[in-house]
């Protein structure tokens, strides 16, 4: 992709997703996630019912009457985007591919964080961590993230979410708001998710295509396994084949939902032909 075409694509995504962030998500995002802790604001005279543990003994001794420390929530947060760029994301049976929706969701969340003056970091992963951009503030930083989401060419094709979560735990020592955006067609990741979720506020956003859910009965068809990089021929007229295809989809979807829920992590499911705006808004409102 040449520079002119890349900039055109970046600008198109910026216009669409920034509008969503400015007018829809910013307020919901701002109230959905609590700060990392409490910071000192001021001291004031003690009132009945105040926590005696907050008494400032130095000021109390100076004025010979009780004063307490007042704290306020620390609002600046760090958002980490863990984005699946494996070969299975390059699939779509409708107007858009999964990776296009994934890019839009990531950009929308990044602009929402920027509007809240938060830092945003990016981890692109396949079966390995392909790219890491440390958290930073600012619009230019978000535009760099969007450029990488559009243009980056991965070295691997398979998916290993556990590896990405291990990398997250190793690099992010402070609590972060983490969005994992993937189709979650991965080897088991429950143990690593459990460890990461102890420290971070994690939400999984699962993007899938309707054709991954059901296989039509159209005879013998070549099916390309993007992650294995090979074609296999499937007799779609056989009910057992269609049932096995659907069962695999259901198992992956259930594993995603159950694993994230057990770890106290958020769960969002969105199909490529559905409105991810509606799904994200409902999720943010449920956290308030």
- Check residue 41 and give its pLDDT: 63
Range of lowest pLDDT (61-75, 94-108, 237-251): 61-75
- Check residue 116 and give its pLDDT: 82
**Percent of the chain at pLDDT exceeding 90:** 45
Query: At 165, is the pLDDT very low, low, confident or very high (cuts 50, 70, 90)?
Result: very high
Helix axes 239-262, 190-199, angle to 10 degrees: 30
How large is the average pLDDT for residues 96-100? 90
Query: At 75, is the pLDDT very low, low, confident or very high (cuts 50, 70, 90)?
Result: low
pLDDT digits (tens, 9 = 90+) for 219-268: 887 766 656 677 778 877 888 888 888 898 899 999 999 999 999 999 99
Bridge partners of residue 269, in order along the sequence = 206
| pLDDT of 288 over the 90 cut | no
* Token reading at 284: 């943010």
Contacts of 251 by beta carbon, 8 Å cutoff, 6+ apart? none
- Check residue 16 and give its pLDDT: 77
| CA dist., res. 57 & res. 61, Å (int) | 6
pTM: 0.80
């Amino acid at each position: 992709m040449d520079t002119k075409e890349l900039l055109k694509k970046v600008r198109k995504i910026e216009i669409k997703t920034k509008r969503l962030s400015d007018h829809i998500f910013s307020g919901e995002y701002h109230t959905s996630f609590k700060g990392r802790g409490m910071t000192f604001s001021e001291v004031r005279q003690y009132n009945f019912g105040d926590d005696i543990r907050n008494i400032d003994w130095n000021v109390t001794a100076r004025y010979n009457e009780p004063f307490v420390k007042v704290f306020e929530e620390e609002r600046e947060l760090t958002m980490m985007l863990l984005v699946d760029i494996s070969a299975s994301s390059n699939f779509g049976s409708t107007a858009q591919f999964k990776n296009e929706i994934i890019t839009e969701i990531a950009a929308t969340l990044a602009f929402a964080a920027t509007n809240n003056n938060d830092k945003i970091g990016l981890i692109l992963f396949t079966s390995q961590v392909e790219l890491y951009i440390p958290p930073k503030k600012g619009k230019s930083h978000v535009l760099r993230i969007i450029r990488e989401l559009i243009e980056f060419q991965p070295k691997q094709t398979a998916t290993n979410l556990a590896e990405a979560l291990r990398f997250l735990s190793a690099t992010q020592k402070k609590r972060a708001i983490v969005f994992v955006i993937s189709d979650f067609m991965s080897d088991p990741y429950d143990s690593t998710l459990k460890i990461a979720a102890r420290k971070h506020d994690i939400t999984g956003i699962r993007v899938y295509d309707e054709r991954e859910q059901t296989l039509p009965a159209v005879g013998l068809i070549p099916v390309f396994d993007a992650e294995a990089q090979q074609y296999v021929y499937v007799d779609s007229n056989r009910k057992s084949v269609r049932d096995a295809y659907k069962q695999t989809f259901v198992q992956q979807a259930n594993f995603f939902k159950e694993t994230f829920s057990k770890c106290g992590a958020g769960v969002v499911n969105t199909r490529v032909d559905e409105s991810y705006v509606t799904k994200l808004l409902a999720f943010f409102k449920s956290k308030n």
